[in-house]
């Protein structure tokens, strides 16, 4: 198992000057990031299929993992609500040991394959759901069992592992291989493997959200406006999309109740009812709605 190997390069590591230790770890972090490049195509294919399923249903995103991998998975999921307006009701965290495992070790939880199966069954997953399993080794019994059960339920399954020949990749529909190899500190997969996992999760979930129409150009149009900083950002977004000035964008945002998509249409000159109706008929896709509005204006 490559993630458990010992590199002879780091023999006597504890005797090295601290600056050399930190420099070596930094170099390996860069190398870990580079491993994701070979999986860009696989990540894109997974994002396309995931967005297709989620866009046609009330399907849920399910994150499965244990230890560091589980914590990184949860971190990815919780950011989707404020950034892209993804409903927390459409998120499930299947973490070995439960949510208590986020802040402390829950011994032997990762070896409980029955618990992995049970959380999938109790969640009543089906083909509308998308399940992402993360494990550096690719052998974690809890995660492997959960992904196997999820695939049997009809859910779309995506697996991230740093070992190519691993059970987790074998049982998933989309296998993402992050070949990070041995660690500077032998077996400490929170480092290189964790870095690659974080990058891959970012690419995957953000790709899904973009394909679901939650980004216009490069702007976060489903962002939750929950504080002053985000309100200022939302006003800037509305102004940039609509061509309105800041005061007009702010007024539109207030009239839209903080809904950036609706506010952009209002700032372009639509009535509130007309904008809401157009968004609904456009499947809540702002670009589709703007294209329809502009076509109407030209005719």
Q: What is the pLDDT of residues 89-127, one digit of tens each?
A: 999 999 999 988 888 877 788 889 999 999 999 999 999
| Mean pLDDT, the chain, integer | 93
pLDDT over 70 at 1, yes or no: no
Q: What pLDDT was estimated at residue 156?
A: 98
Inform me whether the pLDDT recorded for 184 exceeds 80. no
CB 158 within 8 A of CB 131: yes
Determine the pLDDT at residue 252: 97
Domains and CATH numbers, the chain: 2-211 (3.40.50.10490), 228-298 (1.10.8.1080)
Stretch among 27-36, 65-74, 90-99, 179-188 having the lowest mean pLDDT: 179-188
Catalytic residue among 4, 27, 28, 79: 79
* Per-residue pLDDT at 7 exceeds 90: no
User: Is the per-residue pLDDT at 220 higher than 70?
Assistant: yes
Residue 187: pLDDT over 80 = no
- Dihedral of alpha carbons 220, 225, 230, 234, sign: positive
- pLDDT tens digits, one per residue of 245-287: 999 999 999 999 999 999 999 999 999 999 999 999 999 999 9
- Please, which contacts does 212-216 make with residues 24 or more away whose CB atoms are closer than 8 Å? 212/51, 212/54, 212/55, 212/84, 213/55, 213/283, 213/284, 213/285, 213/286, 213/287, 213/288, 214/84, 214/85, 214/86, 215/84, 216/241, 216/264, 216/286, 216/287
Catalytic residue among 28, 81, 110, 183: 110
Is 52 in the active site?
Answer: no
Active site residue 79: yes
- pLDDT, position 207: 98
- Return the sign of the alpha-carbon dihedral for residues 288, 208, 56, 73: negative
DSSP label at 183?
B
In this predicted structure, what is the pLDDT of residue 59?
A: 96
Q: Is the pLDDT of residue 6 over 80?
A: no
């Amino acid at each position: 198992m490559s993630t458990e190997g010992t590199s002879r390069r780091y023999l006597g590591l504890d005797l090295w000057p601290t600056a050399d230790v930190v420099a070596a770890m930094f170099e390996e972090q860069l190398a870990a990031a580079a491993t994701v490049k070979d999986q860009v195509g696989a990540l894109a294919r997974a994002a396309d299929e995931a967005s297709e399923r989620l866009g046609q249903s009330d399907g849920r995103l399910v994150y499965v993992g244990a230890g560091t991998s589980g914590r990184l998975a949860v971190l990815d999921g919780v950011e989707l609500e404020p950034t892209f307006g993804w409903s927390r009701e459409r998120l499930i965290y299947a973490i070995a040991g439960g949510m208590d495992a986020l802040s402390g070790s829950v011994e032997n939880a990762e070896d409980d394959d029955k618990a992995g199966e049970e959380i999938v069954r109790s969640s009543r997953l089906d083909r509308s759901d998308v399940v992402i399993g993360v494990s550096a080794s690719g052998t974690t019994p809890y995660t492997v069992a959960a992904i196997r059960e999820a695939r049997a339920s009809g859910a779309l399954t995506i697996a991230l592992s740093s070992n190519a020949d691993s059970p987790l990749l074998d049982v998933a529909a989309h296998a993402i291989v992050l070949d990070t190899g041995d660690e500077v500190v032998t077996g400490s997969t929170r480092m290189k493997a964790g870095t690659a996992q974080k990058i891959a999760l970012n690419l995957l979930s953000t790709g899904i959200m973009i394909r679901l129409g939650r980004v216009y150009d490069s702007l976060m149009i489903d962002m939750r406006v929950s504080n002053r900083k985000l309100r200022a950002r939302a006003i800037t977004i509305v102004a940039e999309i609509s061509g309105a000035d800041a005061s007009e964008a702010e007024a539109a945002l207030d009239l839209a109740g903080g809904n950036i998509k609706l506010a952009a249409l209002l700032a372009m000159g639509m009535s509130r009812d007309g904008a809401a109706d157009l968004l609904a008929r456009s499947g809540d896709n702002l670009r589709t709605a703007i294209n329809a509005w502009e076509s109407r204006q030209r005719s």
